[in-house]
Amino acid sequence: MRAVVITGVSRGLGAALFDVSIARGDRVLAVGRQFSAEQQRLRDERPGDVTLFSTDLADAHWLPDYDVMRPFLRDADEAVLIHNAAVVDPIGAVGRLTTQAITHSIAVNLTAPAVLTNSFLRAAPSDARLRLLFISSGAAHRIIDGWALYCTTKAAGETFFDAVASQVRDDPRISVANIDPGQMDTGMQGNIRRAAGSGAYFPGQQRWLDAPAEGRLVDPLVVAERIIKEHAS
Count of domains observed in the chain: 1
Q: Could you tell me if 8 and 85 are in contact, meaning their C-beta atoms sit under 8 angstroms apart?
A: yes
Tell whether 213 is covered by a domain: no
pLDDT score, position 64: 97
Tell whether 203 is covered by a domain: no
Q: Residue count of the chain, please give it.
A: 233
* Phi–psi pair at 97, nearest 5 degrees: -90, 155
Cα–Cα distance list, 12 to 61, 83, 84 (Å): 26, 13, 10
pLDDT digits (tens, 9 = 90+) for 41-93: 999 999 999 999 999 999 999 999 999 999 999 999 999 999 999 999 999 99
pLDDT score, position 79: 98
Tell whether 97 is covered by a domain: yes
Please name the helix (run of DSSP H) or strand (run of DSSP E) that holds residue 62, with its range, or none.
none
pLDDT score, position 195: 82
Q: What is the mean pLDDT of residues 186-207?
A: 86
The yes-or-no verdict on residue 135 having pLDDT over 90 is yes
Q: What is the mean pLDDT of residues 127-137?
A: 98
Give the confidence band of 190 by pLDDT, cuts at 50, 70, 90.
confident
The yes-or-no verdict on residue 40 having pLDDT over 90 is yes
Q: What is the mean pLDDT of residues 150-167?
A: 98
Give the confidence band of 196 by pLDDT, cuts at 50, 70, 90.
confident
Tell whether 202 is covered by a domain: no
Q: Could you tell me if 115 and 103 are in contact, meaning their C-beta atoms sit under 8 angstroms apart?
A: no
The structure's pTM equals: 0.96
CATH code where residue 68 lies? 3.40.50.720
Report which residue type is found at 46. Answer: R
Which domain does 17 fall in, by range?
2-185+218-231
Query: Which residues lie below 8 Å from residue 215, measured CB to CB, with a gap of 6+?
Result: none
In angstroms, the CA 88 to CA 100 distance is 14
The yes-or-no verdict on residue 189 having pLDDT over 90 is no
Tell whether 193 is covered by a domain: no
Tell whether 197 is covered by a domain: no
Tell whether 198 is covered by a domain: no
In angstroms, the CA 153 to CA 150 distance is 5
Q: What is the mean pLDDT of residues 192-204?
A: 86
Tell whether 49 is covered by a domain: yes
